[in-house]
Amino acid sequence: MLPLSKRLSAEFIGTLWLVLGGCGSAVLALAFPDMTASPNFGIGLLGVSFAFGLTVLTMAFAIGHISGCHLNPAVSVGLTVAGRFTAKDLIPYIIVQVLGATAGAAIIYLIASGKAGFEVGRFAANGYGQAAPGGYSLGACFISEVVMTCLFLVVILGATDERAPKGLAPVAIGLCLTLIHLISIPMTATSVNPARSTGPALFVGGWALGQLWLFWIAPILGATIGGMISRFLGGGTE
């Protein structure tokens, strides 16, 4: 196992890339209402969903062998519950993941604010109720985040099991995250990742920070359940 400092550095870079690529696609490339060129190059929900999936897929190949490529406090918790991650490294991982997500959001802000008339607006922050893209209730958003994160962990733990097909885990995990976004962007703008939610919320402030609690509690609860399910099924054994 590599030194903790190297693994933490990899997690920082990987989580920065997750937020820069995923949230950046929503903030910078979702739509261009003032474009005169045809066709409109806004990437839409499908594009944003694939952007998140591709960030995980690419980083899994780049740093999976260094840090495990968690990029997500909920994933780190789920892996710990499943017996696939050392508990003593959990807090350091979570800290650098949040720092990486914040750095990624800061880069997006610096780029986006270079456009005349820029307003922070939603800034890819997650929300429920009136702050949900589709106006979904707190209960619906909570259930969505718990279930989506739970099944994300089941896929992660199954795809990375020693009995799974070798070399394909990043593809399965990236496509799973894409699917999760296709389902749940209208509900919460999709979190399943407390760090990803924290970075943009720090720049939006107000309602985003006030609702941030859900995007810590629900993903971690879902990941814990997913880790337990995987362990029961045998996917959490070394």
Question: At residue 7, does pLDDT exceed 60?
Answer: yes
Please state which of the ranges 207-211, 227-231, 234-238 shows the lowest mean pLDDT. 234-238
Question: At residue 35, does pLDDT exceed 50?
Answer: no
Query: What backbone torsions phi and psi does residue 166 show, to the nearest 5 degrees?
Result: -75, 140
- At 234, the pLDDT band (50, 70, 90 cuts) reads confident
Domain spans in the chain, listed from the N-terminal domain onward: 4-233
Dist. CA 235–CA 238, nearest whole Å:
8
In CATH, what number does 4-233 get? Answer: 1.20.1080.10
SS3 for 190-230 is: CCCCHHHHHHHHHHHCHHHHHCCCHHHHHHHHHHHHHHHHH
Give the N- to C-terminal CA distance of the chain in Å, as an integer.
15
- Please tell me the predicted confidence (pLDDT) of residue 29: 85
- Please tell me the predicted confidence (pLDDT) of residue 32: 53
CB 10 within 8 A of CB 94: no
Dist. CA 73–CA 52, nearest whole Å:
16
Question: At residue 140, does pLDDT exceed 90?
Answer: yes
Question: At residue 37, does pLDDT exceed 80?
Answer: no
Please state which of the ranges 1-10, 37-46, 80-89, 180-189 shows the lowest mean pLDDT. 37-46
Please state which of the ranges 16-30, 160-174, 205-219, 223-237 shows the lowest mean pLDDT. 223-237
DSSP-assigned letter for residue 185: H
- Please tell me the predicted confidence (pLDDT) of residue 157: 96
Higher pLDDT, 166 or 59: 59
